[in-house]
Amino acid sequence: MPLQRASLRHFILGLLTQRPMSGYDIKRRLKSLSWLVGEPSFGSLYPALKALEKDGLVTMELENRENKPSRKLYNITEAGIQTLDEWISQPAGPNASLKAFVMRLILADNLSRSALIAQLYQRRAQIAAHRAALEDDTRWADDGADSVQRMALEYGLALANAELVWLDDALDRLLAQPQAVEVVQGD
């Protein structure tokens, strides 16, 4: 199950914002998210880590533990954080898949609340446009198209509507929440 276009590196960076991890750690973490974003193979994971290191977006340090095989712990660098930030703040392609969106959601959440909200708004606009397009298609397809194509259109509409409901809901809750961090100091 592949991840989306050019995303594995970014996802790795996103995970490393939480804490330093080994390749194996990352695999385990991705596995727990696999229902959403898929699970990469070692054959892509380890090379990706090497590439990130070569590009200076992460650093590697060997962790030697007694009675356990040593392992490579990766840390994200400043440059890595910046790269991630740039990537997440540029809008997703208009045809971005569900998986790509969820991935961005998780990454955005690692960065900031405002990034998270931005992702939701962006997605909302895209899905709304998508639904409008589908509704157009439905109208002029009522006569000509074969039945399965109409079925597919309804399918797309049903999913778009469900997604919009969820997006509105999520945005409502997020915006209702107190700003969390930053403010608390007092207690």
Partner DNA sequence: ATGTGCATGTAACTGGTTACATGATTCG
Partner DNA sequence: CGAATCATGTAACCAGTTACATGCACAT
Stretch that binds a second copy, among 28-36, 55-63, 64-72, 83-91 (CB under 8 A): 28-36
Q: What is the 3-state secondary structure (H, E, C) of 81-94?
A: HHHHHHHHHCCCCC
7 near DNA, judged by CB under 7 A: yes
- Contacts with 32 (C-beta within 8 Å, 6 or more apart), sequence order: none
Residue 16 CB burial class (10 angstroms; 0-12, 13-18, ≥19) = buried
Give the Å distances, CA to CA, from 95 to 8, 160, 163. 18, 13, 15
Stretch that binds DNA, among 16-24, 121-129, 135-143, 169-177 (CB under 7 A): 16-24
Residue 148 to residue 14: CA distance in whole angstroms: 40
44 near DNA, judged by CB under 7 A: yes
Residue 88 to residue 121: CA distance in whole angstroms: 13
Closest distance to DNA from the beta carbon of 57 (Å): 13
Using CB under 8 A, count the residues that bind a second copy. 38
57 near DNA, judged by CB under 7 A: no
Helix 8-16 vs helix 23-32: crossing angle, to nearest 10: 100
Closest distance to a second copy from the beta carbon of 2 (Å): 8
Stretch that binds DNA, among 17-25, 118-126, 130-138, 178-186 (CB under 7 A): 17-25
Closer residue to a second copy, CB minimum distance, 54 or 139:
139
Closest distance to a second copy from the beta carbon of 52 (Å): 23
170 near a second copy, judged by CB under 8 A: yes
38 near a second copy, judged by CB under 8 A: yes
